[in-house]
Amino acid sequence: MTEESTALRVLSAGPGTTLQDGGRHGYLRYGITAAGPMDRLAHATANLSLGCPAQATAIEVSLGGIALTAEGAALTVAVAGGAFAVSLDGQELGPDVALTLEPGAVLGIRAGAGGSWCYLAVAGDLDVAPVLGSTATHIRSGMGGLEGRGLRAGDRIRVLARHLPLAPSRIDAPWLERAPDTIRVLPGPQADAFDPDQIDAFLAADWTISNRSDRMASYLDGPRLRHAAGHDIVSDGIVMGAIQVPGDGRPVVLMADRQPTGGYPKIATVIGPDLGRFAQGRPGTRLRFRAVTREEAVAARRDEAACLRGRPSLEPLVRTRFTSEFLLGLNLVDGICGPDDGL
């Protein structure tokens, strides 16, 4: 079953593609950023579709894409999030798929119709040493993942693989179809650093995600916001989704790799369930913010948790799209995967 020598080999990887588990929690008080996935719903969906724990280590693929192969033995993988284009040995499979990668077969993932991040999960355990209990990569401090850096061509990640042969299948996860057009926020924690007309302006404006966007923060283009009395506050804590307004009046949404504390007023905070949706917005995406109550935010969180309660179902892909040579190379018999398989 488990092969000592089974591994994922990276053939090519764009910048900013990293290993991420659910995040390095519990050390913010020592200045250590949690990191973790930009889109936690997509990350968890990829893992759960293979029967892995929701927070297991997976590869977060950036717009630069990645190509990989299996070494030693077959590996079953799932790709979810961001409508990325997935291909097996050059055959397009579409987004959100699970399949078994035979040794030597090449899995390609590149930016597709939309979205900024997708997740590649593996049936089994990626053999990556945790730092402070987590494998999440934080490139700025060189912590976690592979030597604290992004993946690159030649990297080999040993896998303690789980036997789960699977013909190419679509992951049924309708919750991943989310347009990043309206992002829900809770006002504060420093809403009182702005006059009411500035809060109104913030909520009324059309914002555009700028090119200055990465795992740490997304800058927004739009009107400049004015502070009521200065832009410096004595540093306090920063959550993922905090919308900070520095001296130039241009809001910045702080994301997974943010610093744990900071000294600019935060006009509002993106609610947890909308963080992944926001993260999937590419530079140039236009959006608005809508203020909601805490009750609405918690209800949205409950809905999000409900999506991940079971294992997403897998539906074999329509086979007429493939050539007969391609189909002959696949094991189609084992492809039907019930909800309890491999758990």
Partner 1 sequence: MSAPRPRFLDSGEAALVVEFGRIVDPVLNERVLALDAALREAAPVGLCECVPTYRSLMIHYDPLRIDRDALVAAVEAALERGQTEARAASVWTLPCCYDPGFGEDLDEAAARLGLSSQALARAHAQGDYRVYMYGFAPGFAYLGGLPEALAVPRRAAPRPPHPAGAILIGGGLCAVGTFPMPTGWYVVGRTPERFYAPERPEPFPIQPGDGLSFEAVDADAFRSLERRAAGGEVVARRRGT
Asked whether position 270 contacts partner 1 by CB under 8 A, the answer is yes
CB of 78 to partner 1, least distance (A): 26
Q: Which stretch binds partner 1 (CB under 8 A): 6-14, 41-49, 187-195, 335-343?
A: 187-195
Asked whether position 110 contacts partner 1 by CB under 8 A, the answer is no
| Closer of 109 and 254 to partner 1 (Cβ) | 254
Asked whether position 188 contacts partner 1 by CB under 8 A, the answer is yes
Of 50, 49, 1, 47, give the one whose Cα is nearest residue 21. 47
CB of 270 to partner 1, least distance (A): 7
**Three-class DSSP category at 187:** strand
| Closer of 35 and 109 to partner 1 (Cβ) | 35
Residue 39: CB atoms within 10 A of its CB come to 26
Residue 316: CB atoms within 10 A of its CB come to 14
Q: Site map for partner 1, 137-176, x if CB under 8 A?
A: ---xxxx---------------------------------
Q: Which of 12, 208, 259, 313 binds partner 1 (CB under 8 A)?
A: 259
Task: State the number of binding residues for partner 1 (CB under 8 A).
Answer: 43
| Alpha-carbon span 284 to 271, nearest angstrom | 22
Q: Which of 156, 261, 284, 290 binds partner 1 (CB under 8 A)?
A: 261
Cβ atoms of 220 and 251 closer than 8 Å: yes
Q: Which of 189, 276, 281, 312 binds partner 1 (CB under 8 A)?
A: 189
Q: Site map for partner 1, 287-316, x if CB under 8 A?
A: -------x--xx--xx--x-----------
What Rg value do the Cα atoms of the chain yield, rounded? Answer: 21
Per CB under 8 A, contacts with partner 1 among 20-79 are 25-33
| E strand spans, 50-155 | 58-61, 66-71, 75-80, 85-88, 91-92, 97-101, 106-110, 118-122, 124-126
**Counting beta carbons within 10 angstroms of the beta carbon of residue 273, is it exposed (0 to 12), middle (13 to 18) or buried (19 or more)?**
buried
CB of 187 to partner 1, least distance (A): 8
| Alpha-carbon span 241 to 214, nearest angstrom | 13
| Alpha-carbon span 309 to 121, nearest angstrom | 18
Of 57, 323, 47, give the one whose Cα is nearest residue 164. 47
Q: Site map for partner 1, 219-238, x if CB under 8 A?
A: --------------xxxxxx
Which spans of this chain sit near partner 1 (rule: CB under 8 A)? 25-33, 131-132, 140-143, 186, 188-190, 233-239, 241-242, 259-262, 266, 269-272, 294, 297-298, 301-302, 305
